[in-house]
Structures are given as C-alpha cells and as structure tokens.
Structure 1
Amino acid sequence: MKAHENEVMPVTQDDNLVLLDTPVKRGNTEIDQVTLRKPTSGELRGLNLSELLQLDVASLIKLIPRITSLNEFEASKLDPADLVAIGTKVIGFLLQKRTKTDASLVA
C-alpha cells in the first residue's frame, strides 16, 4: 500500500515481539526485546502442553530457548512480568485461530 504525500503510514508492531520491562544482560549487551516464533510440534517434545497453558515456569524456561534467541540461563533470569508476557504469547500459539476468535482473543 502506497501512502499519499500528506498521509502517514501506520506503524505496525510485530505481534510476536515482547518488549522487556527488565532487559536481560548478555555480556556487555542488554536485550530489551524478544521475538518469538510459533513452535513446531517437535519443539514441544518433552513438554506438557497443559503446563504451558498454565504458564508453568519450568516448562516456559525450557521452551523459550527453542523459539527465541535467548538461552536457557537467560530465560531463567527473566523478570516475572516479562516471563508472563512471553507465556501469554506462547498460549496464543497453542490455540487454534477459531478458538481465539470464539474467545475474543483476536481483533
């Protein structure tokens, strides 16, 4: 879509991006945002889906390195509020589009 001369294009935010309240340190670098990707069934191997849906901390810490650039140590150092924000995105990945629509989770 092309903007007209005086028209401002809306900025879209990546739905899979989580801005961290408390950045995670990696050496001299601070990671202040994490992009998640939808896990495949293989990446869920060894995890209990019902525990992920209940935001089980241990399960999330195992999954986060599989679907983000964070490693398991960094995932274990996440601020609880950031862990919940990431977990909420994970729950969205586990629900069918129809289920999200029925529950009014999709705009």
Structure 2
Amino acid sequence: MQVSTVEIEKAATVIKLLGDKTRLTMVKILDSHDCCVCEFVEIFKISQPAISQHLRKLKDLGIVKETRRGQWIIYSLNKDSEYYLLVENILQYLPSQDYKLQELEEQGLRISCE
C-alpha cells in the first residue's frame, strides 16, 4: 500500500485548523456520524453562525463535505480528501464523542434531517 504524503505547508494548515477544540470535536463526531448544524448548536451550546463558520473552514479545506437532504444540509467527513489519512491518524488517538450524540437523543434533540 502506498501512503500518500502531504506537503508540510498543507499539513501545518490542517493541524492548525484541527488545533481548535470545537473543530477537532466536530471532526471526531463526523468520523462516525453525519450531522447537521442544528445538532452541533445543541452539542456545543454556541450560536448557529459560529458553528457554520467552523464548518465552512473545514469544508473549504476539504476535510468535511456537505450533502443537501431536502431543506437540510448534512455534514460528513470527506473520505476522498487528500488530507483524510492525516486526519484519520490524528482522530485515532482521541476518545469517542458518541456520548454527545447519545445525550442529544436522550434530551429529544437529536435531529433526523430526512
């Protein structure tokens, strides 16, 4: 298996972007679950524009992608990104964040954007 390498400049950009706790947590959640902005608003207890800004930065770099489902935009980890292996290698060292989504579900706040 050939491992692709990422230029130092690009790797630094990815690592800097993931250096933000909120973005890092979002990416860890997206590693196993697709989410919409409204779910992140509830998880992080910050405004929708702030969540959208974080997601825009991740999307601009290609780390996450969005899919429209009716009126909803669903975010997921972009497994086709040139940075995917780098991101995956970082995420493997982080604890699961699934409990955050389970808490949302228990509060009746987990959105089914179908």
One fold, TM greater than 0.5? no
Normalized per residue, the structure richer in helix is: 2
What is the TM-score of this pair, normalised by structure 2? 0.25
What is the TM-score of this pair, normalised by structure 1? 0.26
The structure with the larger Rg is: 1
Q: Which has the higher contact order (CA 8 A, sep 6+)?
A: 2
